[in-house]
């Protein structure tokens, strides 16, 4: 069964498995002890630290092993902010950072600090100018991922690091997604990574704090890992993590070229094989193994289940795959379609025939899911043609189902959004992708220049209705308050 979710966790590399088994026999003792078994364990720990430091491009005494990548991020942010408390209490992050960064920012803000979220372009990347513009005299720390975990877009870390250095502000880089592919360029100050992202065992992270960076560990500390990770080191897992990082780096150049070709194949062929698809993320500045796309009129959770039944393990940022029923903060910040979102992240060694089979299976699976929920069919031309006779009836039933009279200025549902006022579609209480589906069903009955007012209390509608308008060549007029949820106004242009 093809596993296409390496951005969440890469399969354990064979070298990691071998190193783990060997270290279980040789590395079980306390490396802080002076007897023979302890000295042997210490040699293994030192060797693993040197190997990881060489891969990162830092000194061994700058690198500490932590219990996870998330723990590395939290410790790095907390320690750097505490170490620079005299400089100020301003933290800078991008809007598409990993949740571990955003959660740390929330804690910092709740404690009285200030946080600036730098917006991103539609590709998912920050601009250097926008990031540099967020730097202030009281900025204590800046954080930027090396590459995005959901869409694969690479960030301009080296340029941002230069801007931070010029301003005297340390930059922490979350390199979890990219570290297996190569070192992070630029004069960064702190760096975090996670072993299970590059084929090491879970439960091992690394934190690098460059010499000269003011850093004050928070909470109880001990003598281990420079006081940055208390407790007995998981030495077998650390050894396996370092060994696998060295192994994947040795294969990285050739494997990156191969996976980039496969993901480029997906990027190019999915829009032609599946109607109404938006491929998101930067087409050039991206990680080699990640490609993400969103499908109109598709329930993301159902799509993932059907792909799993077809033998493919993929991930999604759709709101309908989340317990919170809110779309991915990454997709939201990018302003792209969230419904029917699929992230394909290929692990090293992915077979070409598995990608080809995925491309063969996907169109039928999407069509099946759309048919099941009554979505429009026939691609871009279907909205204006198939909706014609039935759309007024649909809109009428939707308005009637709300149990309320049309709002002041609204036309009766059969008026078609003309001079009498906007046609109203009541999608309250209905979740992604139903509000967009109902909009698509009625737009054909609206005269050119007329409007549709969609009522929805689904958070995803705030993102997906504007995205639908852009894909369909219609005008998104804006959002208005409503008694429940919000009202989204759309003008038909063609």
Per domain, the residue ranges of the chain are 253-372, 379-491
How high is the pLDDT of residue 322?
52
d(CA 44, CA 133): 45
How many CB atoms are closer than 10 A to CB 377? 13
Helix (H, G, I), strand (E, B) or coil at 296: coil
- Residues 6 or more apart whose Cβ sits within 8 Å of residue 321: 300, 301, 304, 341
> Position of tokens 């990454």?
330
How many CB atoms are closer than 10 A to CB 476? 16
Local confidence pLDDT in tens for the 494 residues of the chain? 899 999 999 999 999 999 999 999 999 999 999 999 999 999 999 999 999 999 999 999 999 999 999 999 999 999 999 999 999 999 999 999 999 999 999 999 999 999 999 999 999 999 999 999 999 999 999 999 999 999 999 999 999 999 999 999 999 999 999 999 999 999 999 999 999 999 999 999 999 999 999 999 988 878 888 888 888 899 999 999 999 999 999 999 999 999 999 999 999 999 999 999 999 999 999 999 999 999 999 988 889 999 999 999 999 886 554 545 567 899 999 989 888 899 999 999 999 999 999 999 999 999 999 998 888 765 544 443 334 433 334 443 343 333 333 333 333 333 355 555 789 999 999 888 899 999 998 998 899 999 999 999 988 898 889 989 988 899 999 999 998 999 999 999 98
- Is position 320 annotated as part of the catalytic site? yes
- Residues 6 or more apart whose Cβ sits within 8 Å of residue 339: 294, 295, 296, 297, 298, 299, 300, 318, 319, 320, 432, 433, 436, 460, 464
- Give how far the C-alpha of residue 305 lies from the chain's centroid of Cα atoms, to the nearest Å: 20
d(CA 193, CA 179): 7
**Residue pLDDT, tens place only, 8-29:** 999 999 999 999 999 999 999 9
Integer CA distances (angstroms), 406 to 1, 225, 393, 394, 472, in order: 52, 66, 16, 15, 27
- Asked, colleague to colleague, whether 253-372 and 379-491 share their fold, the answer is no
Question: CA 166, 169, 175: angle at the middle one, nearest 5?
Answer: 105
- Give how far the C-alpha of residue 240 lies from the chain's centroid of Cα atoms, to the nearest Å: 27
Among 431, 432, 291, 467, CA closest to 362: 291
How high is the pLDDT of residue 349?
95
**Helix, strand, coil proportions of the chain in percent (round to 5)?**
45, 15, 40
DSSP 4-15: -BTTT-PPPPHH
**Cβ 49 vs Cβ 60: under 8 Å:** yes
Q: Which two tokens stand for residue 488?
A: 């989204």
Find out whether the peptide bond into 277 is cis, omega within 30 degrees of 0.
no
How many CB atoms are closer than 10 A to CB 112? 7
- Residues 6 or more apart whose Cβ sits within 8 Å of residue 89: 81, 108, 112, 113, 114, 138, 140
Q: Which two tokens stand for residue 322?
A: 């989340």
Number of residues written out for the chain: 494
Longest dimension (CA), the chain: 89
Distance, first Cα to last Cα, the chain: 44
d(CA 93, CA 83): 18
d(CA 455, CA 452): 10
- Residues 6 or more apart whose Cβ sits within 8 Å of residue 4: 312, 313, 314, 344, 345, 346, 347, 350, 358
Report the topology of domain 253-372.
3.90.1150
d(CA 330, CA 222): 37
d(CA 98, CA 84): 23
Among 151, 117, 404, CA closest to 263: 151
DSSP 125: P
DSSP 362-416: HHHHHHHHHHHTT---SGGGHHHHHTHHHHHHHHHHHHHHTTSPPPTTPPPGGGT
Instruction: Output the CATH code of domain 379-491.
Output: 3.30.110.40
Among 110, 61, 149, 189, CA closest to 329: 149
How high is the pLDDT of residue 300?
84
How many CB atoms are closer than 10 A to CB 33? 12
d(CA 444, CA 456): 20
Q: What is the pTM for the complete model shown?
A: 0.86
Catalytic residue among 295, 320, 432, 469: 320
d(CA 490, CA 443): 9
């Amino acid at each position: 069964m093809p596993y296409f979710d390496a951005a969440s966790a890469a399969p354990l590399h064979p070298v990691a498995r071998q190193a783990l088994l060997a270290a279980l026999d040789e590395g079980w003792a306390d490396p802080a002890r002076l007897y023979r078994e302890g000295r042997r364990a210490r040699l293994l720990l030192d060797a693993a630290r040197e190997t990881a430091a060489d891969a990162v491009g830092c000194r061994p005494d700058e690198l500490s092993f932590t219990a996870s990548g998330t723990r590395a991020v939290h410790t790095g942010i907390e320690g750097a902010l505490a170490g620079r408390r005299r400089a100020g209490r301003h933290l800078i992050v991008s809007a598409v950072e990993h949740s571990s960064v955003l959660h740390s920012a929330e804690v910092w803000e709740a404690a009285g600090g200030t946080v600036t979220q730098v917006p991103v372009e539609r590709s998912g990347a920050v601009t250097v100018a926008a990031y540099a513009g967020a730097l202030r005299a009281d900025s204590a720390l800046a954080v930027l991922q090396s590459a995005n975990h959901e869409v694969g877009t690479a960030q301009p870390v080296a340029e941002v690091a230069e801007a931070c250095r010029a301003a005297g502000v340390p930059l922490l880089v979350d390199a979890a997604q990219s570290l297996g592919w190569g070192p992070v360029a630029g004069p960064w100050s702190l760096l975090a990574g996670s072993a299970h992202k590059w084929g090491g065992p879970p439960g091992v992270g690394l934190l690098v704090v460059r010499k000269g960076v003011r850093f004050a560990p928070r909470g109880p500390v001990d003598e281990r890992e420079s006081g940055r990770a208390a407790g007995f080191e998981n030495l077998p897992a650390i050894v396996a993590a370092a060994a696998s990082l060295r192994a994947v780096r040795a294969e990285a150049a050739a494997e990156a070229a191969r996976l980039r070709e496969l993901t480029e194949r997906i990027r190019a062929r999915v829009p032609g094989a599946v109607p109404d698809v938006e491929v998101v993320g930067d087409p050039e500045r991206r990680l080699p193994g990640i490609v993400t796309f969103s499908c109109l009129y598709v329930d993301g959770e159902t799509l993932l289940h059907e792909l799993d039944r077809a033998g493919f393990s993929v991930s999604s940022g759709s709101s309908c795959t989340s317990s919170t029923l809110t779309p991915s903060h990454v997709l939201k910040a990018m302003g792209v379609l969230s419904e029917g979102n699929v992230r394909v992240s290929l692990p090293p060694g992915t077979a070409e025939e598995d990608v080809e089979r995925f491309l063969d299976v996907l169109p039928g699976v999407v069509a099946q899911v759309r048919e099941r929920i009554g979505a429009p069919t026939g691609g871009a031309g279907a909205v204006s043609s198939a909706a014609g006779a039935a759309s007024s009836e649909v809109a009428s039933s939707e308005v009637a189902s709300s149990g309320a009279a049309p709002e002041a200025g609204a036309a009766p549902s059969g008026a078609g959004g003309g001079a009498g006022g906007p046609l109203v579609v009541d999608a309250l209480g209905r979740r992604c992708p139903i509000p967009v589906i109902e909009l698509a069903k009625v737009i054909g009955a609206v005269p050119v220049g007329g409007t549709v007012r969609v009522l929805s209390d689904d958070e995803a509608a705030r993102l997906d209705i504007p995205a639908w308008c852009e894909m369909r060549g219609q005008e998104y007029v804006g959002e208005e308050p409503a008694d429940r949820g919000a009202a989204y106004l759309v003008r038909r242009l063609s």
